[in-house]
Amino acid sequence: MAEFDVDLFVIGGGSGGVRAARIAANYGAKVMVAEEYRMGGTCVIRGCVPKKLFVIGSHVHQEIEDAAGFGWSIGQVSFDWATLVANKDKEIARLEGAYTTNVEKSGAKIVKTRAVLEDAHTIRLATGEKVTAKYILIATGGAPNHGPAVPGIEHVISSNEAFHLKELPKRIVIQGGGYIALEFAGIFAGFGSDVSVIYRGDNILRGFDEDVRKHVRAEMEKRGITIITGSTVTKVDKHGRDFTAHLSGGSSIAADQVMFAIGRHPNVKGLGLEAAGVAINPANGGIQVDGWSKTSVDNIYAVGDVTHRTNLTPVAIREGHAFADTVFGKRPVQVDHATIPTAVFSQPEVGTVGLTEQEARAQFAHVDIYKADFRPIKATMSGRDTRVLMKLVVDGASDRVLGCHIVGDAAAEITQAVAIAVKMKATKADFDATIALHPTASEELVTMRTPTARHVRQAAE
């Protein structure tokens, strides 16, 4: 008789957990996956996938406006929010089915229930059944954080509820200055809502390159989005179907919806971590792991947003795969968390990889900056007042490209390709030797010859 019921028990059916389960099963492990809600996790069900579908839909209005400059005369158009939501729901259901099928095809078993640790090798299911496992992987992801409870917090929605609103709000107040807040600001504005963004910091997109932050804010404000910084929502009143958001400065804004997008926290509550001896990282509230995704308990691992390391779906997938390779494939693999490309599907879009100018100047004595800020070719005919930003951060001593930052149409698509070069430690000379692909916006990346700024840190005497 086997010592354990399964070789691997995965708690969480999101991208990281599913990848780990499939790869481990392919190596011959007996695997069980517990998911209490829907297979696919944050990204597929209530994150990047439905959000990107909404972003794409919200662009159509701008495309219609721009069409006139190219000779198109488009008559009366209308938009139906309910149709968008219904079609999104169909696509998410299809993807959920695909996730489920792929796990089952690998030979792993799915149980649709909550799972809680009783000890380092025992999991109790909500059905009352107990399962023992040689290894346990926690991949429960994260959830929206509403922050300090303000009066009227019960009236506030998060990104979760934004995907299921019965109707499009005519006016919406969004608190937050990160990627989720700005993406939803662009979505609602694109569909015709009056949008106000409230952020406590001095400028949006904290942690991004300063030029990116300024550029995105200017472009969003051109599109009619109100951005109020240095302020917070202190109270939300409800009047029938309407709301009033009171701000810390004493002003207030009337709205049909108030949304908070002020960060996410790891889903660690009620998992039985204490009973199993799994430690929490005091610095970020996520499960503490080492470079192999191992927790403080030898046979228990954690990947993805629940660790609060780098909260991106492809990172969770890479971590889950590396875990399965290491533990069940006998091929030790560590994930390199450096130089991860990221995107913000705001409007305009942001793509970035590598170091910001500020980070580079802190780490390197000589930093060269190459920057282009220009009107894209489409705007010359559409008449739209918009500009693209391209920026390269270069180590002046070695000529290595340390970072690339793009704001404009298809920024994320361009950045994915550029990320390969940055990861391979390409030099500015390598970029310069690459012939431009004309006419594109991205050709600026290989035609910027003269630094716009040079920063040389003097050695201490």
Average model confidence (pLDDT) for the chain? Answer: 95
State whether 243 and 284 are in the same domain.
Answer: no
Residues whose CB falls within 8 Å of the CB of residue 15, separated by 6 or more in sequence, listed in order: 40, 41, 43, 44, 304, 313, 316, 317, 320
pLDDT for position 457: 86
pLDDT tens per residue across span 284-296: 999 999 999 999 9
State whether 131 and 170 are in the same domain.
Answer: no
**342 found inside a domain:** no
**129 found inside a domain:** yes
Polymer length in residues for the chain: 461
Q: Examine the fold and report which residue of 213, 240, 262 is the final residue of a domain before the chain moves on.
A: 262
Residue 50 in this model has a pLDDT that exceeds 50: yes
pLDDT for position 116: 96
**334 found inside a domain:** no
State whether 188 and 108 are in the same domain.
Answer: no
Beta-bridge mates of residue 33: 10, 110
Nearest to 272 by CA among 64, 120, 69, 409: 120
Residue 180 in this model has a pLDDT that exceeds 70: yes
Say how many Å lie between the first and final Cα of the chain, rounded. 72
pLDDT for position 263: 86
Residue 460 in this model has a pLDDT that exceeds 70: no
Q: How far is residue 80's CA from residue 63's CA, in Å, rounded to a whole number?
A: 17
Q: Examine the fold and report which residue of 205, 235, 262 is the final residue of a domain before the chain moves on.
A: 262
pLDDT tens per residue across span 248-304: 989 999 999 999 999 889 999 999 999 999 999 999 999 999 999 999 999 999 999
State whether 245 and 182 are in the same domain.
Answer: yes
pLDDT for position 110: 95
CATH number where 232 lies:
3.50.50.60
Residue 148 in this model has a pLDDT that exceeds 90: no
Q: How far is residue 147's CA from residue 435's CA, in Å, rounded to a whole number?
A: 49
Number of domains in the chain: 3
Q: Look up residue 406 and give its amino acid.
A: I
Q: What percent of the chain has pLDDT over 70?
A: 99
Catalytic residues: 438
**335 found inside a domain:** no
State whether 41 and 134 are in the same domain.
Answer: yes
| Contact of 38 with 112, CB cutoff 8 Å | no
Range 217-242 average pLDDT: 96
Q: How far is residue 60's CA from residue 189's CA, in Å, rounded to a whole number?
A: 12
Residue 208's domain spans which residues? 153-262
**400 found inside a domain:** yes
State whether 137 and 275 are in the same domain.
Answer: yes
Residue 459 in this model has a pLDDT that exceeds 70: no
**427 found inside a domain:** yes
pLDDT for position 1: 47
State whether 320 and 416 are in the same domain.
Answer: no
- Exposure string (b/e) for 212-244, b if CB count within 10 Å is 16 or more? bbebbbebbeebebebbeebbbbebeeeeeebb
pLDDT tens per residue across span 375-427: 999 999 999 999 999 999 999 999 999 999 999 999 999 999 999 999 999 99
**343 found inside a domain:** no
State whether 359 and 424 are in the same domain.
Answer: yes
pLDDT tens per residue across span 325-341: 999 999 999 999 999 99
**251 found inside a domain:** yes
Is the model more confident about 397 or about 148?
A: 397
Range 24-35 average pLDDT: 96
Residues whose CB falls within 8 Å of the CB of residue 242, separated by 6 or more in sequence, listed in order: 254, 255, 256
Range 354-375 average pLDDT: 97
Q: Examine the fold and report which residue of 219, 239, 262 is the final residue of a domain before the chain moves on.
A: 262
